[in-house]
Amino acid sequence: MSKAVSVLNGARFSGLATVEDAGLQGMITLRGDLGSSALKAAVKAATGADVPAQGSISVAENGAAAWMSPDELLLLVPYEDAVAKTAEVAEALKGEHALAVNVSDARAFFRLSGEGAREVLGKVSPVDFDAAAFKPGQFRRSRLAQVAGAFWLNDDGNFYIVCFRSVGEYVFKLLSAGAHPQSKVGVY
């Protein structure tokens, strides 16, 4: 089998904030009734995390579950395990009105870290990134300039950004331009 490579193969830009291709990340889209106990158990088994509350992400040691919509979760698992975990989740939810799909290779994954991270993301997304408004553990689906994207703020202060792989290069360049060293606005 061919070797899997993340969208920009570890590209990195440093300016107001550091933009990095965060590498290969297993991602499973799971749709179903988020209140059902079978689904809760399946999510726990696959990621180690609980089903998150509205607009948040629950992170466990080796995985995470993010709230995408009232009937959709994004499960984060190690890349190598994505295929097996997808099958496990599907098996656990047999008979339920639910669907699990491995979308790892359809997504790009970035890390945005450093002092200016809030400002850089604030330039490209219509979201309030004030420290009082956007807290660690919050997960938000929105847009990044012209394309759809989702992001959350990790407990370590880094933003993680998920978007479609087809627009991965666009998002990287967008964030890099936003992080240009001479483009400081100083809002956040």
Partner 1 sequence: MLILECPYCGVKAEETELAAGGEAHLKRYGPGSSDDEFHDYLFMRENPKGVHFERWRHANGCGKWFHAARCTMTLEVFGTYTAQTSVPTQEILDKIAAKRPGWTWREFADGKK
Summarize as ranges the residues that interact with partner 1 (CB under 8 A).
Answer: 54-55, 67-70, 72, 126, 140-143, 148
CA end-to-end distance (rounded Å), the chain: 46
Which is nearer to partner 1, 24 or 110 (by Cβ)? 110
Tell me how far, at minimum, the Cβ of 80 lies from partner 1, in Å: 30
Q: Using the 8-state DSSP alphabet, how is residue 159 labeled?
A: E
Q: Which residue has 């040691």 as its token pair?
A: 61
Tell me how far, at minimum, the Cβ of 54 lies from partner 1, in Å: 6
Sequence-distant (6+) residues with CB within 8 A of 175 are 13, 17, 19, 110, 112, 120, 121, 124, 144, 161
Tell me how far, at minimum, the Cβ of 152 lies from partner 1, in Å: 14
Q: In terms of DSSP H, where are the helices of the chain?
A: 37-47, 82-92, 117-124, 168-178
- 3-class secondary structure for 76-120? EECHHHHHHHHHHHHHHCCCCCCEEEECHHHEEEEEEECCCHHHH
Which is nearer to partner 1, 16 or 65 (by Cβ)? 65
Q: Label residues 99-112 b or e (16+ Cβ within 10 Å = b).
A: ebebbbeebbbbbb
Which is nearer to partner 1, 149 or 168 (by Cβ)? 149
Q: Which residue has 């179903």 as its token pair?
A: 32
Which is nearer to partner 1, 13 or 188 (by Cβ)? 188
Tell me how far, at minimum, the Cβ of 9 lies from partner 1, in Å: 27
Which is nearer to partner 1, 143 or 184 (by Cβ)? 143
Tell me how far, at minimum, the Cβ of 126 lies from partner 1, in Å: 5
